[in-house]
Structure 1
């Protein structure tokens, strides 16, 4: 069972470009771009959850690193936490998203990001610059 209170997102960077994934649901967010991730299962650490989510959703093997920015509050009392993730193996596969793309700092700033992920735009762009 998922702990509905905690959601994790991964900032996967490769050769100066950040991986963004386009959401298919919920309807209010469909078509917008996000840092991929998902919910933390009961008894699972956020680090393990992020590695699992990136493998399940995109077929990527990553090494999860330090936290990115501050926590972001979500509706229903949930919290979203982002972490840097080093790509170890794999190319993104569309399993739950309608598209993926690698963006530089300019592409990040111009992307139609989900509102929660906008909290980290400045820190992400600085790392990509």
Structure 2
């Protein structure tokens, strides 16, 4: 048994581009970019949590493709991040809008991944997502 809280993130892809979401809150994270997702609730599998979180935050249905290697500690003690590659199901990337926790979205081509100011804990996950995507090309 662990006291760790698991946070799940989605490396969400559409048309070869990765979705970056800009935080609107809390104040110390606002304006920085992350992979969308959130906390796993008690009794919930991480994969279920990610599908739920992406539905709540973006109003989208996704298909999870692969868990990316790694788990990263977050700035908040006792929290750790795991990331899955995912793709949109039955939605066009231009129709995706932030519903909560974010105020802007950007779909980044592989050569644009570092054009946004990622939160520190998301940077290794973005690196893994780029490796995963490159291996699929």
* Correspondence for 2:122 among 103, 113, 117: 117
TM-score, normalisation: structure 1 = 0.90
Query: 3-state SS of the aligned residue for 1:76?
Result: coil
Question: What RMSD over aligned residues (CA atoms) do the two structures have, in Å?
Answer: 1.8
Residue 93 of structure 1 corresponds to 97
Aligned residues of 1:24 and 1:30 also touching (Cα < 8 A) = yes
CA contact (8 A) 1:4 1:39 kept: no
CA distance in 1, matches of 2:60, 2:48: 13
Count how many residue pairs are aligned between Structure 1 and Structure 2.
127
Q: CA deviation at 1:66?
A: 1.6
Q: Which structure dedicates a bigger proportion of its chain to strand?
A: 1
Q: Is the 8 A contact 2:11 2:126 kept in 1?
A: no
Question: Which ranges in structure 2 are unaligned for 5 or more consecutive residues?
Answer: none
Does residue 41 in structure 1 map to residue 46 in structure 2?
no
Q: For 2:78 and 2:32, how far apart are their aligned partners in 1? A: 22
3-state DSSP of counterpart to 1:112: coil
Q: Distance in 1 between matches of 2:65 and 2:17?
A: 17
- Looking at structure 2, the residues matched to 8 and 35 of structure 1 have their Cα atoms a distance apart, in angstroms, of 9
1:124 positional shift: 2.5
| Runs ≥4 residues deviating over 4 A | none
**TM-score relative to the length of structure 2:** 0.85
Paired residue for 1:14?
A: 14
**In 1, Cα distance between equivalents of 2:130 and 2:12:** 13
Distance 1:124 1:115, change over 3 A: same
Q: Distance in 2 between matches of 1:88 and 1:125?
A: 21
Q: How does 1:43-82 map to 2 (within 5 A)?
A: 43-74=43-74, 75-82=76-83
